[in-house]
Amino acid sequence: MTGPKAADAPLIALEGITKTFGEGAAAFQALKGVDLAIARGDFVAVMGPSGSGKSTTMNILGCLDVPTSGIFRFRGVEVQALERDQRSLLRRRYLGFVFQGFNLLARTSAVENVELPLLYRGTRKAERRAAALRALDQVGLVPWADHTPAELSGGQQQRVAIARALVTQPDVLLADEPTGNLDTERSIEIMELLTRLNREGITILLVTHESEMAAYARTIIHFRDGLVERIDRNTPTPVEALA
């Protein structure tokens, strides 16, 4: 999978990606030919008004959806040609997801939520628990390991979700409006956490409509009308703890 050239190639490459929903007169073209390259270790913020195609792009990058046409290479593999289950295996192995709505399993403790991805990897129980606690430690929630989502604040729930995304040590963490349901203070906490994780080597793709949050990224991609409008290089907001 990782040939000698793959190391130099971008982690993620989109070439002429289009996505059309529906058919005939009702057809709606959400993406009209997106070209994009994301390097390993980058912190990318994807911005744009709703309907600009940023969510569709994220779904394709997250291997949850396939483009109508174009080529999507992830680690050199052409994802658009893969079967559904093969894409699942790709997500399982290389991707971590953080959603706006946290999407934790209700009535299930924080540590069990974090263990979930490892369950599908077939990790042994003891190992699973240890890895889940390590991930919870990374987000500072070890004391809350046995609490269910209902017993946690929004910020805490999002940190559990981040721990769940981290526990498999993915290449890429996709965060779709992770601060959308949080107040400013919690949002800053989450962004600082993402910055720290990025410094540790994880590539981060962040979808946001708030420029304060995008300011933490090193690359900001602006979408408009199903196309990449422009790509800005950014000096990230400094994070004190890391200074």
CB of 127 to other proteins, least distance (A): 10
Q: At what angle do helices 184-199 and 154-166 cross, to 10 degrees?
A: 20
Nearer CB in complex with other proteins: 100/234: 100
For other proteins, which is the closer residue by CB, 156 or 195? 156
Nearer to other proteins, 117 or 155 (CB): 117
Site residues (CB under 8 A) for other proteins, limited to 107-126: 107, 116-117, 119-125
Secondary element (H or E) of residue 126: helix 125-138
Other C-beta atoms closer than 10 Å to the C-beta of 135 total 27
Between 107 and 233, name the residue whose CB sits nearer to other proteins.
107
According to the binding rule CB under 8 A, does residue 85 interact with other proteins? yes
CA distance 71 to 119: 31
Q: How far is the CB of 104 from other proteins (least distance, A)?
A: 8
**Which residue in 103, 148, 234, 237 binds other proteins (CB under 8 A)?**
103
Alpha-carbon torsion (210, 211, 217, 223), positive or negative: positive
Q: Which of 43, 97, 216, 223 touches other proteins by CB under 8 A?
A: 97
For other proteins, give the closer residue by CB, 155 or 170.
170
Burial profile 80-119: b = 16 or more Cβ within 10 angstroms, e = fewer: bebeeeebeebbeebbbbbbbebebeeeebbbbbbbebbe
Q: Does 77 contact other proteins by CB under 8 A?
A: no
Instruction: Assess 92 for contact with other proteins (CB under 8 A).
Output: yes
Contact flag: residue 91 with other proteins (CB under 8 A): yes
Residue 105 in contact with other proteins, rule: CB under 8 A: yes
- 191-212 in b/e form (b: 16+ CB < 10 A) is bbbbbebbeeebbbbbbbeeee
Q: Which stretch binds other proteins (CB under 8 A): 61-69, 183-191, 200-208, 219-227?
A: 61-69
Binding of residue 88 to other proteins (CB under 8 A): yes
Among 37-45, 59-67, 72-80, 137-145, the segment contacting other proteins (CB under 8 A): 59-67
Provide DSSP, 66-114. --SEEEEEETTEEGGGS-HHHHHHHHHHHEEEE-TT--PPTTS-HHHHH
Half-sphere exposure of 237 (CA within 13 A, CB side): 17
- Please give the residue ranges that form the binding site for other proteins (CB under 8 A): 59, 62, 64-65, 84-85, 88-93, 95, 97, 99, 103-105, 107, 116-117, 119-125, 164
